[in-house]
């Protein structure tokens, strides 16, 4: 497939981060207060591409939105935080797992 041929995607902002989304695909965002199966509409669309047609917002595209559905609430990979101070026998180990919401993109709406 050539670049720009039959490609339809958008760049959307959610939780202060930017994500590239396509219809029918899932992506992870920071935890949202929504239950599984609930519809979430993201309206901060920065860029929309449909083949050779490109729309860039300043900063957002007016009237554009992404209709998504909550697929699941998941936990990320566990990371370990280790504090250490030499010569005084101070050691602390803590773990952390970030919570994410998996969103399934139903449609990209341009008005």
What are the tens digits of pLDDT across the range 54-70?
Answer: 999 999 999 999 999 99
37 three-class SS: coil
Identify whether 59 is preceded by a cis peptide bond (ω within 30 of 0).
Answer: yes
What are the pLDDT digits (tens) for 23-57? 999 999 999 999 999 999 999 999 999 988 899 99
Give the DSSP letter of residue 63: T
Q: What percent of the chain has pLDDT over 90?
A: 86
- Nearest residue to 65 (alpha-carbon basis) of 7, 5, 13: 13
Using DSSP bridges, classify how beta strands 45-50 and 26-30 pair: parallel, antiparallel or unpaired. unpaired
Spans of all domains in the chain? 8-75+101-110
Continuous H helices in the chain:
none
């Amino acid at each position: 497939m050539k670049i720009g041929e039959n490609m339809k995607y958008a760049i959307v902002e959610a939780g202060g981060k930017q994500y590239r989304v396509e219809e029918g695909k899932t992506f992870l965002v920071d935890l949202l207060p929504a239950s599984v199966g609930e519809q979430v509409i993201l309206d901060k669309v920065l860029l929309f591409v449909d083949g050779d047609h490109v729309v860039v917002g300043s900063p957002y595209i007016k009237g554009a939105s992404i209709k998504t559905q909550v697929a699941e609430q998941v936990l990320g990979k566990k990371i370990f935080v280790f504090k250490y101070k030499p010569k005084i026998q101070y050691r602390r180990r803590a773990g952390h797992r970030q919570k994410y919401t998996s969103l399934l993109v139903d449609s990209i709406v341009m008005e």
